[in-house]
Amino acid sequence: MQTDEIVTGTHSLGDDIPLYRRFPALRALPRVSLCTPPSPVHEIEGIPDATQLWVKRDDFNAPVLGGNKVRGLEFLLGEVRPGDTVLTLGGAGSTHVLCTAIHARRIGAETMAMRWRHDMNAMADTISDKLARELKDTKVGATPIGAIVRCGYVRLTRNVHFIPVGGTSPLGALGHVNAGLELAAQIKRGDCPTPANIVLPVGTGGTMAGIALGLAIAGLDIPVVGARVGPRMFVNLPKVRRTARDVARLISGIAGVTVAIPNNMHITHRVYGGAYGRPLAAGNAAADLLERVSGIKLDATYSAKAFVAALELARMKKGPTLFWLTFDARCLST
């Protein structure tokens, strides 16, 4: 069993995180330390007409396959032990499913995932190939409904640790609240200026809700802009707001304090490619540009579309724009 010196349970490595400093009572929740915070933040230079463009490098937030999903998995895998089975679901090229499988394996657990077909791109194909080697169950169905039904059956008939699609739940979003508090501390230290906008991709919404909540808790009223990557009926602002309220209630119930609810969240629909996983031509061009000037690789499903929105805001020259990189390109080679 490979554990990479991971310690599970309520007392884990990496206990000195902003979330615990703000709400010590949350230490009672099971958590496994997977990240190495804080992830760096730096300015992106060399892009024409895009001044004061910054990036939060969550591709460097963990020693093994970072990105936004691993932050939530610290809490979602908190009760998983060697020999256990983790059950989750997602698209055929889901980075959430891959991240879950890799980090569950670090603990010594195996992963079952119910997946469905969707529009694919080169990176999604690579991730799908890797999932075929990582997962206990490699079946890919036709629709999300079928995956949900299969998940329900397994949960009724087997002893598994279930993780919802995208890792989005009040518990999982705690990891992103910590990320928002982490950025607030970096701003306070002077690592970066206070952003006029923060831009990130939004799918199931847990990352966006948690980061916005963390910033609100820190007293920062910074607009958080989510670039929609899925159908509007599943990716919308009311849903993200509900998640933020649910996370706030979880924190309040455990810590016994009132938690500020973020009211400065927005979703841009202009960068949606027409279907989940479908590349956007402007996204491909923006990703090529960023890789040329910085070496940062983006994925066509999520981060390339968000970077288009970040570029638009940066070129308006209304203050610093922070692009939150949620994709770790190491998944393409490891």
Distance CA 152, CA 158 (A): 10
E strands, 137-205, where? 140-141, 161-162, 197-202
Q: What angle do CA 302, 135, 87 make, to 5 degrees?
A: 80
Nearest to 158 by CA among 112, 115, 116: 112
Q: Is the dihedral of CA 124, 126, 129, 130 positive or negative?
A: negative
Longest dimension (CA), the chain: 57
In this predicted structure, what is the pLDDT of residue 171?
98
pTM: 0.94
In this predicted structure, what is the pLDDT of residue 333?
77
Residues 111 and 105 sit within 8 Å (Cβ to Cβ): yes
Q: Is the dihedral of CA 39, 45, 50, 51 positive or negative?
A: positive
In this predicted structure, what is the pLDDT of residue 332?
81
CB atoms within 10 A of CB 77: 28
In this predicted structure, what is the pLDDT of residue 14?
58
Nearest to 61 by CA among 208, 183, 223, 239: 183
Asked if the bond preceding 38 is cis, omega within 30° of 0, the reply is yes
Kindly write down the DSSP assignment for every residue of 4-53, as one continuous string.
TT---SSS-S----HHHHH-GGGGGS-------SPPPEEE----TT--SE
Distance CA 281, CA 283 (A): 5
- In this prediction, the residues of the chain whose per-residue pLDDT falls under 50 are 1-13
Distance CA 39, CA 54 (A): 13
Kindly list the structural domains of the chain, giving each domain's residue range(s) and its CATH number in brackets, ordered by start: 18-70+168-332 (3.40.50.1100), 73-167 (3.40.50.1100)
